[in-house]
Structure 1
Amino acid sequence: MSEYPKVEIREGLVSVIVPDLSKYIVGNRPEPAHAPVFYNPRMEVNRSLSTAIINGYIGYMNKAGITICEPLSGTGVRAVRYAREVNGVSRVIANDISERAYELIRLNVDKNGLNDVVSVYRDDANNLLLRLAREGGCDVVDIDPFGSPQPFIENSLRAVRDQGLLCVTATDVGVLSGKYPIKCVRRYGALPQKFPFRFEVGIRILISMIARYALSMDYGIQPLVSFLDGHYYRVCVLILKDRAYALETLRNLGYAYYRLSTLQRGFIPGYPIPTNTRYRLAGPLWIGNLWDAEFLMNHFMSNVKDYFSDRAREISKLIVEEALGPNIPYALTTEISRDLGRELPINDVIGVIRGLGYQAVRSHFHIKGFRTNADLLRVREVIIGK
């Protein structure tokens, strides 16, 4: 194996060899992209929650003996964790085009005694996905690239079986949430806006991109879990290879609007053309639910383990609570505190709204975010009147 500094780390129930990131410092912090094989310790939350999601999916769909494909494996830590921590997995396919990554994946598979479960390949990700599609496909395809997942979505949809699960990470949060709008138009075919809920706009654009690829194949999608964690989005959607589900998916595409004067926000149906153009719009994007609350409560939470990091367990609780809220874009405490001279704590705001008889839950998308079906101008008047 080609030599470079390595360390052994423990994550979940496995121990793996990874590049020593202390040797790849940029601006006083480790830079995973500079290491010979990509490994980001901050993605532990993503990897841990993904094991819980896939374990939940197996129970939800009553599956057994599933095959999971990870076409962009890096060090192999995710594939090895799936092989060890997912109950009812019969095969994990790990792949990376890099020779160094391929060598490291094989080392980590062998180190954890998983040679009978994990198959390791060195191929272009899209080539592998097309080959798997020809061979009958996989139950779960997990796309976790460095940057945009867009180049891999079409062939992932081919490789995932009917009623399979497609898990997608996007680390270009800035592009999706409005920092680089023209790049978002080029890459995702949608226009973001710097609305107060722009981080929700971003994840809905990501889901709509997956949905539009699926629609072109007469497939439908159903999001089970969606979340933002710092620098990345993560979505896990059921792929339903049936024209009836494609028609249902089409009804869940539209646009988001926001009016500063009234603080109104919401969704307008209609794809490719919105049914209402009086507002400044973001989209096209997914206007349906970001979560399946029944899946989260009955199948996901029971698979969130004690050995996950505090952050992983915290996000789990937040998204389950948020999934029970209304499907209306989140608001910020800064919006309703604007004329108050001070900013009310979020729990106080939620208490006021619930006191008025409306729904209100915290949003994990922003530390000051909450989801409500109340008229925000009325809430602001009540708060100022206090």
Structure 2
Amino acid sequence: MGTKGGIKEGLAKIQMPAGVFFNPHMQLCRDIFSLSIGALPEKKLSLCDCFAASGARGIRYKLENKNISKLSLVDWSLPAADACKKNIALNKLKNSRAYKSRMETFLAKRPSDFLEIDPFGTPAPYLHPAFASFSNAYSKSAYLSATATDTAVLCGAHSDACYKIYQCSPLNCEFCHENAIRILISKIARTAADFEYGISPLFSFSHRHYVKVLLRVQKGAAFAVSSIKTLGYVSYCPKCLYREWAKFPTKKTCACGTILLHSGPMWLGPLWEKGHVQKMLQLLPARPYLQQAQLQKILCTVESELSLPPFYYDAHALCKKLKIGAHSLEALQNSLAQKGFCFSRTHFLPTGFRTDAPIEEIKKALL
């Protein structure tokens, strides 16, 4: 940002005029979601990047994936729209255009199969025009990718803001970043249902200051109802770190006597589709321009954790509660495995893990 120079990222060459936003720290995000698009089964998709800025994300998506046949780069800023136009030409992209327009106005006239919503802050205000666009185009299926950078809101630091924006009660706890994604998906599912669409998460990711999801969108009352029925609440004890989840909270107090904290309504279903993640792993070796080692580690971790229960634990938080020194995750895994429990690290947190063991067994394994 603020330079007249240019960069090369992935397969794209991007010029960045002064005043046009570009975040170099989002390269990993662009890497992993470009790969995720490549794993989609469709052969021809029209894609609209609704907050394109320099156009880096959308241009990479099209350059790196043969299944993107048409690209629209949309931004309300004239300098950004001009930059997109120049970067399209610089990368010699065909069937690609830049537009100076508000997202809502553009989508009302020019629908796409795939909408990329990557605004500053929350994507919540833009979900209604996104699904209205799908509906107006009579789309039976589509894709939506949404980024939220208001993680302080989603993670419970500003509860009132979360009520207002997402109509959810957040939770400031050790698994708050998973909560954040589940609250975001809940908001998307409820907006989708207004237009008789259901959603299915294909890939979810949390890193640094943001959370991001890629969802399949399907038309039909049955899909919409199924999505809404997947919403529910997590109940959490801040004293003993017990947690449970259900359609509605069923307990007021924990077995230890502490009043439970409740968060929701949130998405309680899977955050990833196993076949989609495996396809991403298959495609990765053929893309040497990506951050191979880092992506391999992330995807292997996700593949391991996706089949285990939601709401990961933090080994450091547990050790602090038990007033013991830090415990290695490898030793904890071995102890739980000896008792027949499953275990996986999580991409959400370096000291985080998932297991089907109850909290009492986890504590025994740590002591």
The verdict on a shared fold, with TM-score over 0.5 as the criterion, is yes
TM-score, scaled to structure 1 = 0.87
Question: Are residues 225 and 336 of structure 1, via their aligned partners in 2, closer, same or farther at CA, if it must alter by over 3 Å?
Answer: same
Between 336-345 and 225-234, the greater mean CA deviation after superposition: 336-345
In structure 2, the residue matched to 1:181 is: 159
> Cα offset for 1:234?
0.6
Query: Superposition pairs for residues 271-286 of structure 1, below 5 Å?
Result: 274=249, 279-286=260-267
2:283 matches 1:289: no
The code of the aligned residue for 1:307 comes to Y
Whole-Å separation in 1 of the counterparts to 2:310 and 2:68: 37
What is the aligned partner in structure 1 of residue 350 from structure 2?
367
Residues 199, 218 of structure 2: 8 Å contact kept: yes
Distance 1:252 1:124 in 2: 33
- 1:263 counterpart residue number: 241
Q: 2:123 aligns with which of 122, 128, 149?
A: 149
- The equivalent residue for 2:257 is none
Task: Letter of the 2:7 partner, please give it.
Answer: I
Hey, what's the Cα distance between the residues in 2 that align with 1:301 and 1:374? 28
SS at match of 1:90: strand
Q: How does 1:94-105 map to 2 (within 5 A)?
A: 94-105=73-84
SS in 2 for 1:186: helix
Cα deviation 1:90-148 (Å, max 9, x = unaligned): 1011111111001111111101111x22111110111112222xxxx322111011111
Match of 2:54 among 72, 75, 78: 75
Runs of 4+ residues deviating >4 angstroms: 274-278
**Which residue of structure 1 aligns with residue 289 of structure 2?**
307
Structure-2 residue corresponding to 1:7? 5
Which letter maps to 1:244?
A
| Cα distance change, pair 172–212 in 1 and its aligned pair in 2 (3 A) | same
Q: Quick one: percent identity of the two aligned structures?
A: 28
Structure 2: segments with no counterpart, 5+ residues? 254-259
The alpha-carbon deviation at position 340 of structure 1 amounts to: 5.1
Q: 1:303, CA displacement in angstroms?
A: 2.6
1:333 paired with 2:325, answer no
Provide Cα deviations, 1:244-301, integer angstroms capped at 9, x if missing partner: 111111111011111245432131114xxx555553201111111111112211x222
Whether 1:91 and 2:70 are equivalent positions in the alignment is yes
- Counterpart of 1:334, as a letter, is H
Which among 48, 55, 68 is matched to residue 31 of structure 2?
48
Preserved CA contact (<8 Å) 1:176 1:192: yes
Q: TM-score, normalised to structure 2's length?
A: 0.91
What is the alpha-carbon distance in structure 1 between the residues aligned to residue 262 and residue 99 of structure 2?
A: 44
Name 2:199's counterpart in structure 1: 221
Supply the AA of the counterpart residue of 1:16.
I
2:106 maps to a residue whose letter is: L
- The 1:5/1:196 distance shift into structure 2, 3 A limit, reads closer
Alpha-carbon distance change, 126 to 277 in structure 1, aligned in 2, over 3 angstroms: farther
| 1:16 alignment partner, one of 9, 14, 29 | 14
Deviation (angstroms), 1:158: 2.5
**CA positional deviation for 1:182:** 0.9
What is the identity, as a one-letter code, of the residue corresponding to 1:292? E
2:147 aligns with 169
Q: Is the 8 A contact 1:53 1:303 kept in 2?
A: no
Counterpart of 2:5 in 1: which secondary structure? strand
8 A Cα contact 1:72 1:95, kept in partner: yes
The question of 1:139 aligning with 2:139 is answered no
Deviation at 1:5, TM superposition (A): 3.4
Q: Residue type of the partner of 1:143?
A: I
Cα contact 1:265–1:328 (8 A) shared by 2 = no
Q: Which of the numbers 212, 225, 228 marks the counterpart of 1:234? A: 212
For 1:213-240, what per-residue CA distance to the aligned partner results, in whole angstroms no more than 9, with x for missing partners? 0111221111111110111101011111
Specify every segment of 5 or more residues in structure 1 that has no aligned partner in the other structure, as ranges: 20-34
Contact persistence 2:48–2:73 (CA under 8 A): yes
Partner residue in 1 for 2:333: 350
In the other structure, the counterpart of 1:28 is: none
RMSD: 1.7
Post-superposition CA distance 1:338-384 (Å, at most 9, x none):
33520102222222222221111001111111011101222212332
